[in-house]
Each structure stands twice: as C-alpha cells, then as structure tokens.
C-alpha cells in the first residue's frame, strides 16, 4: 500500500501539494488514515513536468520525511503538472529502481495496489514487451511491469483500450488484483481504480484547489471538495478544465 | 521513540533476537505496541562484541526491514553480547552518525526517549566534556551527548554515580526528560529507565531465554517471562547470572 | 581535494555548467587534471538560488556520476546563481552533513583545501561562535567551521574583514593551511584562494560564457578565457558585470 | 573495470585481505595500478562463508573507502572462504542489486570485465534461463546474467563445461568480450580469465600467504609470490591444497 498525490494547473512549488496541506502527502507518509498500513516509509518519488517533454524524476529509498533534499526540492521546484508517491513495500529490499513514479519518454506512472500472482505471470508479461520497452525495465516490481505493458498496449493512442488489454493480460489469480494508479503524458493527469474483487485502494479528485488547479490524492489533502474516483473507468484531469470521466 | 533489544549469553546468531522471535526487534520496527509511534523506520544499528575489546558497529539510515544486508548479517554474525536499536527520529534528516548504538572504546550505548530542552543545554554539556570525548562527537543528537557525558562522569568506574551526575547536568525543563537506555562494556549489559515526570519508555529484562541467555527488550520478544525494569535504578545483566539490580 | 563550479547570470539549467561542458564538474569528478586526486567521489552538492532568499540545497554521499537524480535535477532545474561541488574526502565516513555546499540563511559556501591542525583548534573555534551559529553546526568538517566563523566575523557586512579575521583565528600549524572557497549571498559570487605556504588549490574565473554569464571553476570548463584567481584577495562576480577584484 | 580479492584457508578476519595488506582491496579501490581506471568507487560487496551452506552477502553503493560499516565488519567478521569486490561502473545508476558478488544458493560470483554487445543478447540469454533462475534476477547487469547462465549450464556439476557453454551463448560482438571472474560453492575458489580478443583483466593466485591460506586478487596484495592466472582455463583454489589448474 502506498500513497499518491498529483497536480495539474498553474505552476506551483511542489511543496504546495507534497508538504503544506494539512493532510499532505508527507503527512500521509506517516499517518495515512485510509490505508492498510499507516506508514509509507519505503522510499518516495516525484515526476514533474516543466519545459521538456520528458519529466524530471527524483526518487530515493529513504522515508520521505527523513530526506532533507526533498524538503529543499519541494520548496524550490515549481511545476505545472507532477505526480508524487510514497511507498510502503511489502517485501524485499528497497532500491531506487523500484521506487515510483516510473517514467518512459514523456510518460510517468505510479501505482498503489498489487498483483498477488505476479510471480506466475512476470515472465509471460516480460516476454510480451517489444524490445525497446523490455530494455527499459530497470527494477523488478509488478508496478513497473504494468506501466510498460500499458505502453506496449498503446497507452499513447487510447488509454482505455490499453488499460483493458493490460488487465486482460494480468488476468486473475486466487487473491484479488488491486490497482489504483495515476499517470500522465505531461498534458493530462489520468487516474484509475480497479479491483478484480472488492475495493481498490482509494483515490480522490478535486477541482476546487485555491489556485484553480486540479489534483488526485489517495486521501483528501485538505477540507475542500474531493470526489472519490469510481472503479473501472479512467478519470482525466486536463489543463484547467474540470474533472471529467474519459 | 525507538525500540531496543540486547542480549548476553552463549554466542548466538544476531537473528535469534533481532529477527526470529515472534515479536522480534524487526517486528517491533514495524508494529511496536507499547510505543507512541508504531513504526521505527529512521535507521537502525547493532553493536556486537566478539574477541576484540571494542564492539563491531553496523548502522544505516534505511528502515531495518528494507535492508537486505541486515538480514544477511543477522543470519551470519554470532555474538555473546550485543545491543540492537531501531530508530524513530522525531525531527530532521537521518544520518548514520545519529543512529544508535554509539560506541567509544569498549563501551556501547543506545537510548529511547528525549531531552526536550536539549537545545538550551547542548552547548553547556559539550563544553563540559574533556577533549578526547569532545573530539569523539560525531553527530548532533541528545542521545550521543548523554553517552559522552556518562563517560565523562566515570561510567567505567561507577555507573550509578555517573548516571546520577549526568541526570543532574541534564536537569529539568518545562517538558519531562525521558530516558530509557541500554549500554555495555562488553561484559555486562546495563539497563536504565528514568523520567523526570510520568513514565519512561518501557524496558523489560528476561533471564529465561531458551539457551540460558539474558536479554533486555523494549517489548517482550516472546511469551517467556519478562520483568519490567523499574525506574530509577540501573539493572545489570551479566554473563550467565540472573537478572539483578545493581 | 575537491572540485568547484559556480555560476551567475541569466537563468540556465544547472546541467549547462555541471554536465554539458567538455570539462564539466561531472567530468572533473572523475578526471580532475589539476588536483592531487583525479577522482572526487565522496559526495557532491549544489546550492542554487531562485525566488526565495534562501538557496535550495541538494547533497548526497554517492559519487556524482552514480546519482540518477542528479542528472534529472541538472536537466530540469534552472537557476540564475548556483554553486556546485564534488568532494574527495581524505578520511572518514561520508555523510550528507559533511557534503558541501553549506548554507545558512541566504548564504552558501563551499571549500577546497584543508586546515591540517584543525583538530587542535576545533574546540576553540566552536566556542567562539555565537549561539545561533553554534546550533547551526550540522557536521564535523573544518569546511563548515570556516563558513560559520566567517558568518560570525561579519561576512554579510564586510567579506574582506571577515576573511582576515577568520584566517587570523585559524592561525598556522606545522603543515600549511590551504583554503580555496566560493561563497554567495544569492546576489554576488565570491571566490578566494589562500595558502599559508605554497599554492592554494586552483580556481579560475570567466566572464566569457556564451550566454553572458560569469563563472568560477576549479579547472576551466571549456576552451574559453579563464583567469586564475590570485591568492589573497576576494574576487567578486556580480550580476552581469565583468570579473573584478573586490 | 573492477578489482577482486578472494581467500580460502584458516578462518581469518576479512580485514586481513580487504584492509591490511599493503596493496589491499581497499587500497586498490583508490589506487589500482593494473586497471584502466585507478578508482573503483561505484559500490562494493563481500560474500563470505561460515557454518551455513549459503554465504553471507554485504553490498553497498558507497565507495568502499567511505563506508564506516565496512571497516567494522572487516575487523569483526571471520571467514574461511570469502570473495570481495570493488566496482567501477561504466554507466548508469549504482544500486545494490548491481553490486557484486551475486549469490544463489551456495554459490557466489563476481566479475571484472564486460560484454559490450550485451544489450543485443540480453533478451535471448534471459529467455534461456529456467524459471527458478529467471526469477532470481535482481538487477540489470551483464555480470549477474553471466552468473545465472553459468548456473543454468550446470556450474554445480562441471564448471568447465558450464563455462564453455556460457561463452558459446554469449558469443562475439564487434568489441571484444572480456571476462575475469572469481566464484565459489563455499568449498573451492574458482578463478577464470577470458578475452575474445586481447588480454582479459588481470588475476593472480597465491599459495604463499603467511597463514597457509590461498588467495586470488586482481593485483598482488603484497610482496609474496603471486602467479598470473592464465587465460582460458579455470583455476581452482581448494582448502589448503596448492594452486592447481582444474
């Protein structure tokens, strides 16, 4: 279980989402209230867009709250669209390559959930990747694999079709697949929740930020209006338009 | 708030205390039940004694559960006396120099608690150190300062007197001083709890380990007999003798 | 021995100084040609100024060339004035607190050189600091101590007087004091070279950057015109004015 | 280019090979004399054998000389057979998963060299692995892949045949394959040098250590008798027997 916060709108310091809100992502990293684990200390990451097509990527294995660099970066770096993630690894050693978000070209992606039968399908999924995406695999998580599979399935052309094809490839196992993710091409923020059984991890969208910006968050960042993202359909937050289903 | 586990007895793999017990230190690092914070993810450390007078010291800033090296070391390294610690830093950046245990010569020391008025006495305490201990200061914590002050006050000659003098130097502030610590000279394990007001963090002692060894732990490691260490007196666990007040 | 690069001028991506030049700071971190050690792999850091008075600070203990985050930051972050440093620690464990640059308020500072008799004067220098600077001490290096002493001696009011007083306090030892440093208040870049005997580490200044900017560097970054900073006087690079002695 | 040191013989502290010799592995990490790069600062690792069949594994991304834990471990940990490695990564981000040695079951392996055409054969090699080895892949290096392929080719049964089959699978590219490696099953140390063209990185064997032990090293650790390992045949160092070709 992890926590996610993402923003699209007028350029703001990252800290306005990551640090300053009453229930900021940093606060959620220590005191999540809607997650199975209250603490998300197994690394963090931020993908942010500025002038380049490709996002900047900052990831580290420390708990977000223990990283002095992160505080400084969040105060100094401004961005018009960014995705931030704090990780609660369930098993194994933490490495930067396994920290979210992942990026490829202009795309960035982060994930909260799990594919319990991933060990049994990992090899098949990797074999299905075209060479350029196979060679882009840097870590060993199910999350990165979902991202690369989405790209292989044409995420850039049709997110809905790519998601459906990816879920089809993942298939079902004994334990339910849970997948809440936020991703972007640098223009639009996409949010999606899926569970093969039961409830996917929470995700909320807001179009009532003070500055006119839009946001996704695993838990509402403040007392404003936040709508739960429904399961099974991709929600897009684009530019300064209001929240709308794809 | 942190969690501590320490052992003295026949040489055993570190994992027998740190990893394997049902409520091991590793388990307490994620699910502490008697601490203000359930998670202790701001680094960890182990001081262990073997043939040399000086202990080995292994400390890192990662959460204990995310460090693959720790798992391997705990399986391979055997010791007749060791102190292990998982840290929950309240503020600031994590660094190895601020991780417990601290060591100097043959002594090792770890601490769970806080001196809330430390910023106002830090300079005075540092000025009171003899040169060799002043130069040994590696980090910036109250914990390391308590250790060096204990040494300056003659810990090696008379722990009780050294502790009394140190508490006197620390004095009182508006908020209560809380100090639960475990330390050793490589022969004896010492445990101590103090609170200027209210209760100090928990510490338990056991002389009923399966292999005849003795242990301190912030929370009982298993279902055996564990006695709460009383506040205000140093408890010694020495060799294979039973738990006794100093 | 370390390597330094600093810039003042129109806002540019950090990579234009740190990564892209033929003999960039990153290149110098692996193949320094005018230093005793060719490799500077014991951490790095960047202090950069934007809208806030206080600089952003990014420091890590990895070799600069092994940090994926650094590459991304250097591509994305733009700044009108920044100081970057790669470190070659002579002894001891690397920690972020001992990485340059150091910052306090609006000031940043980095250093290349050493005070060989520092252990014998450390205590005296620390005792001479006013409380607010004493409490700002985060690490244990001579470099950070020089910075704090400069501040205590009125760096903000008169850099020349502050430097003279600081050198006086440092005094001489058996082995020569060598001190090449670059520092800034966010408006002006200051460079200084001093050796109590022999030559201080190299430092060059250039006012012929393509974009009209000004720079200091331990070794010329490219084939343009670079003037050696003379020993014993503070050189200022301010705004878009040309290089001039203070 | 990396540097390797390995030992088999009476149980000794790791430091007797890694730290104490005049031209120890630690010294070689900063001042290699027979390598293309003098500095090997992109991580290090040690695999050591004690009572368990599986080795202990300690790896970190810091330069070996900057890791205080390593110094302590090398002083405290004793072993009858161990392999140590300092890494000079040619490209990309350092991660523990890409640090040597690698281990699987009772086997450990480290490598100095490169397969320049690895990107073009990586996918084919990975596809050829049986499931249990495919799932054991933790990083993205050619080195780990060579190790897993050796295991897949029956390293445990016949090292010579496994090596020949592995070299066959790797094949040739435009630039020469260079492969100097040391590996062990916990009983025997194996050393091997191969170059598809020109010279493989150096490797020496010694059976004249003071304590009767045997060693491999990229560069002689001291002034004793060291024989260059010939290219193309696996050299075994077993127990207290003298150096002999397989």
- Per-residue pLDDT reduced to its tens digit, A114-139: 999 999 999 999 999 999 999 999 88
Which residue did the predictor score with more confidence, A177 or D88? A177
Closest Cα in chain B, distance from residue D233 (Å): 32
State the DSSP string of B49-69: ESSSSSPEEEEESS-GGG-HH
Q: Dump pLDDT digits (tens) for D124-170.
A: 999 999 999 999 998 888 999 999 999 999 999 999 999 999 999 99
The answer to whether the Cβ–Cβ distance between B41 and A38 falls below 8 Å is no
The answer to whether D151 and D78 are in contact (CB under 8 A) is: no
Residues on chain C touching A96 (C-beta within 8 angstroms): 68-69
The answer to whether A193 and A178 are in contact (CB under 8 A) is: no
Distance from C-alpha of D241 to C-alpha of C118, rounded to nearest angstrom = 51
The answer to whether the Cβ–Cβ distance between A97 and D93 falls below 8 Å is yes
The answer to whether C106 and C130 are in contact (CB under 8 A) is: no
Paired tokens of C223: 């084939």
- The predicted complex's ipTM stands at 0.88
The answer to whether B108 and B101 are in contact (CB under 8 A) is: yes
C2 flagged as catalytic: yes
Query: Which residues of D are tagged catalytic?
Result: 2
Residues 6+ apart with CB under 8 A from B17: B5, B6, B7, B24, B25, B82, B84, B215, B221
Which whole number is the average pLDDT over C150-154? 98
Closest Cα in chain D, distance from residue B105 (Å): 13
Per-residue confidence at B98, pLDDT binned at 50, 70, 90? confident
Q: Is A138 at the interface with chain D, CB within 8 A?
A: yes
Residue D72 DSSP symbol: H
Closest Cα in chain C, distance from residue B140 (Å): 7
Q: Is A75 at the interface with chain D, CB within 8 A?
A: no
Per-residue confidence at D239, pLDDT binned at 50, 70, 90? low
Q: Look up tokens 């002579």; give the residue.
A: C90
- pLDDT above 90: percentage of residues in chain A: 69
Cite the beta strand spans of A105-222 per DSSP E: 107-114, 178-184, 188-195, 204-206, 214-217
φ, ψ for residue A180 (rounded to 5)?
-115, 120
Residues on chain D touching B73 (C-beta within 8 angstroms): 56, 58, 73
Distance from C-alpha of B210 to C-alpha of B212, rounded to nearest angstrom = 6
Distance from C-alpha of D29 to C-alpha of A113, rounded to nearest angstrom = 42
Query: Widest CA span of chain B, in angstroms?
Result: 46
Q: Dump pLDDT digits (tens) for A177-228.
A: 999 999 999 999 999 999 999 999 999 999 988 888 999 999 999 888 999 9
Distance from C-alpha of D216 to C-alpha of D235, rounded to nearest angstrom = 10
Q: Is the pLDDT of residue D16 over 50?
A: yes
By Cβ distance, the residue of C58, C75, C76 closest to A72 is C58
Which chains are adjacent to chain A, needing at least 3 Cβ pairs under 8 Å? B, C, D
Paired tokens of B14: 């570190």
Per-residue confidence at D93, pLDDT binned at 50, 70, 90? low
The answer to whether the Cβ–Cβ distance between B96 and C97 falls below 8 Å is no
Mean pLDDT, chain C, rounded, equals 90
Neighbouring C-beta atoms of residue D245, cutoff 10 Å: 9
By Cβ distance, the residue of B97, B122, B127 closest to C95 is B97
The answer to whether A100 and A14 are in contact (CB under 8 A) is: no
Does A140 sit behind a cis peptide bond, omega within 30 degrees of 0 on the bond before it?
no
Which among A93, A96, A98, A140 is the top mutation candidate for probing chain B, defined by the most B β-carbons within 10 Å of its own β-carbon?
A93
Q: Is the pLDDT of residue D246 over 50?
A: no
Distance from C-alpha of A106 to C-alpha of A88, rounded to nearest angstrom = 26
Q: Is C48 at the interface with chain A, CB within 8 A?
A: yes
Q: Is the pLDDT of residue C202 over 80?
A: yes
Q: Dump pLDDT digits (tens) for C3-57.
A: 999 999 999 999 999 999 999 988 888 777 777 666 777 789 999 999 999 999 9
Residues on chain B touching D16 (C-beta within 8 angstroms): none
Q: What does the pLDDT read at residue C66?
A: 75
Q: Is the pLDDT of residue C244 over 70?
A: no
By Cβ distance, the residue of A96, A127, A140 closest to D138 is A140
Per-residue confidence at B36, pLDDT binned at 50, 70, 90? low
- For domain D3-238, is the CATH number 3.40.50.300? no
């Amino acid at each position: 279980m992890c926590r996610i916060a993402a923003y699209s709108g007028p350029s703001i310091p990252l800290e306005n989402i990551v640090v300053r809100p009453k229930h900021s992502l940093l606060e959620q990293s220590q005191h999540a209230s809607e997650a199975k684990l209250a603490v998300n200390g197994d690394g963090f990451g931020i993908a942010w867009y500025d002038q380049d097509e490709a996002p900047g990527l900052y990831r580290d294995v420390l708990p977000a709250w223990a990283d002095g660099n992160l505080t400084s970066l969040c105060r100094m770096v401004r961005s018009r669209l960014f995705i931030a993630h704090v990780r609660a690894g369930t098993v194994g050693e933490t490495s930067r390559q396994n920290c979210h978000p992942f990026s490829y070209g202009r795309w960035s992606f982060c994930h909260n959930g799990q594919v319990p039968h991933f060990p049994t399908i990992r090899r098949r999924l990797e074999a299905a990747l075209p060479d350029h995406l196979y060679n882009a695999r840097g870590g060993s998580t199910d999350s990165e694999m979902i991202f690369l599979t989405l790209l292989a399935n044409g995420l850039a052309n049709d997110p809905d079709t790519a998601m459906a094809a990816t879920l089809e490839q993942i298939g079902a196992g004994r334990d339910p697949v849970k997948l809440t993710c936020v991703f972007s091409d640098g223009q639009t923020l996409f949010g999606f929740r899926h569970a093969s059984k039961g409830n996917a991890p929470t995700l909320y969208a807001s179009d009532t930020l003070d500055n006119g910006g839009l946001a996704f968050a695993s838990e509402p960042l403040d007392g404003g209006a936040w709508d739960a993202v429904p399961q099974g359909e991709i929600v897009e937050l684009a530019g300064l338009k209001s929240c709308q289903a794809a």
